Amino acid sequence: MKSIHNLPPIILASKSPRRQDLLRLMDADFKVVLKEVDESYPDHLSPEEVAVYIAEKKAKAYDETVGDEIVLTADTIVCIDNQILGKPESIEHAIEMLQLLSGRVHKVITGVCILYKHQYNKFFDVSEVFFRKLTDAEIRTYVETYKPLDKAGAYGIQEWIGLTGIEKINGSYTNVVGLPTEKLYQQLLRVIK
């Protein structure tokens, strides 16, 4: 029977502790290997295409150097009104992002690329996240306490603001954390078919 325990070793090309935690919870055998990659993208792409484009761009940086390992890359973006919210550049920028998300629904899109034997398996997942109306004091306290400058949309669903401010989610919770584990598991099993 195919399982995640029969996979070749996985290289996770991400410094995200949340992605590392999710892979550990999946019982995956992986190591983290990082390379600097320019995350710019063409302006004409849809948000879903942007997430996949960046994930594939990250994977291409490993194609020449990887052996029999699987390279796993991902990119998570937050999108509201077709505007992509990346990682905030400052505390004030993070506050502005959360004020924009407050009391509204937004999409979290994670693009994933699995590179194995020079083949690129790409997919994405989308979750809708419903934030209650947050007060300015709640937003400022969260940003100053948790410093979410490394997170798309300036928040982590697993942190205080997610626990107290998110009313519901349509779609995968782990996708909002940064890796759609349900889809990832199925795609990884296809890689070793």
Q: Is 150 a catalytic residue?
A: no
pLDDT attached to residue 7: 87
pLDDT tens digit string along 72-122?
999 999 999 989 998 999 999 999 999 999 999 999 999 999 999 999 999
Classify residue 25 as exposed, middle or buried by CB count within 10 Å of its CB (0-12, 13-18, 19+).
exposed
Nearest of 72, 186, 171 to residue 126 by alpha carbon: 171
Q: Indicate which residue of 75, 81, 125, 136 is catalytic.
A: 75
β-pairing, 10-12 with 30-32? parallel
Ranges under pLDDT 70 in the chain? 1-2, 193
The beta strand positions in the chain, using DSSP E, are 10-12, 30-32, 70-80, 83-85, 105-116, 119-131, 166-170
pLDDT attached to residue 82: 87
pLDDT attached to residue 173: 97
pLDDT attached to residue 2: 67
Nearest of 129, 133, 155 to residue 142 by alpha carbon: 155
Give the domains, in start order, of the chain with CATH numbers.
Answer: 4-191 (3.90.950.10)
> Residue 82: which H helix or E strand, with range?
none
